[in-house]
Amino acid sequence: MLKTNLEVMTKARAGGYAVPALNNNNLEITQAIFEAAAEEKSPVIVATSEGAIKYANIENIVSMTKNLADRYGVTATLHLDHGTTIESAIQCIRAGYTSVMIDGSHHPLDENIHITQEVVRIAHAVGVSVEAELGRLKGIEDNIVVSEADAFLTLPGEAKQFVEATKCDTLAVAIGTSHGAYKGKGPAKLDFDRLKEIVGLIPATPIVLHGASGVPPELIAELNSLGSNFKDTGGVGDDSIQKAISLGVCKINIDTDMRLAFTLAIKKAMTANPNEFDLRKILGPGKDAMKAMAKGKMRLFGSSGKA
């Protein structure tokens, strides 16, 4: 049985670790996520964007997730990531999601509060938890594009006002991370003083960190050696991740690193066997690479052994 994000994050906060939220688009990714969680004995949040729902069909996503959760017996949730409308949240709630994110961060504060209040009212009536976002991360996340000029960090005072007004269960904050592989040269610099102040003002609300992929340079170098052309990439260092967790972050979203691992493995498979057309032999290495990446994140976040 799938749990809510609030359930797994409350336990994570008490235990001093973070639960990985891994984005899902197809069968191979779903298998990689659940195999990793089972082997690491880690809780996991299976996240799907509106784009993933359009691509894979919501009924297929729910069916795959529930079937593999039952098969492996791990602690898991099914979560809408960056839902942009009330209608998207309702669609997922009706389909069987256990948690939804309503991202009203592109609206003025008052409108963000109003939209989030409505989703909370609907979701809480049927036992579904709600994540909201305050502050805007630069970069590209599925169909959401935020320029550097439009990005801004979360204001601690507004975070307190927002949580008190909306009664959201968890809050995604902007402290210097960004979506996608192009986070700038070198490791991202996070505003830990800001994070500490936010946590101090809303101590009962679990905190979420988006855009937290590491974008390992060695992985980028391998991809470029096989024909990619990634430039000026950067990510969040492991030491920054662990410090954020120590300050109260208990859900961390990882998507870019999973995609990069999958892409590299497929490029390697096709380069080694250019005439291969058995999709299982092409996609299989990609699944295994994502599984290895997911297991590494679970160990880094401290969630291994916590299922």
Distance CA 199, CA 204 (A): 8
**How many residues make up the chain in this entry?**
307
278 included as an active-site residue:
no
Please spell the DSSP secondary structure of the chain, one letter per residue: ----HHHHHHHHHHHT--EEEEE--SHHHHHHHHHHHHHHT--EEEEE-HHHHHHH-HHHHHHHHHHHHHHHT--EEEEEEEE-SHHHHHHHHHHT-SEEEE--TTS-HHHHHHHHHHHHHHHHTTT-EEEEEESB--EEETTEEE-GGG-BPPPHHHHHHHHHHH--SEEEE-SS--BSSBS-SSS----HHHHHHHHHHSTTS-EEE-S-----HHHHHHHHHTT----S-B---HHHHHHHHHTTEEEEEE-HHHHHHHHHHHHHHHHH-TT---HHHHHHHHHHHHHHHHHHHHHHHT-TT--
Spot the catalytic one: 81, 103, 142, 255.
81
Active-site annotation, residues? 81
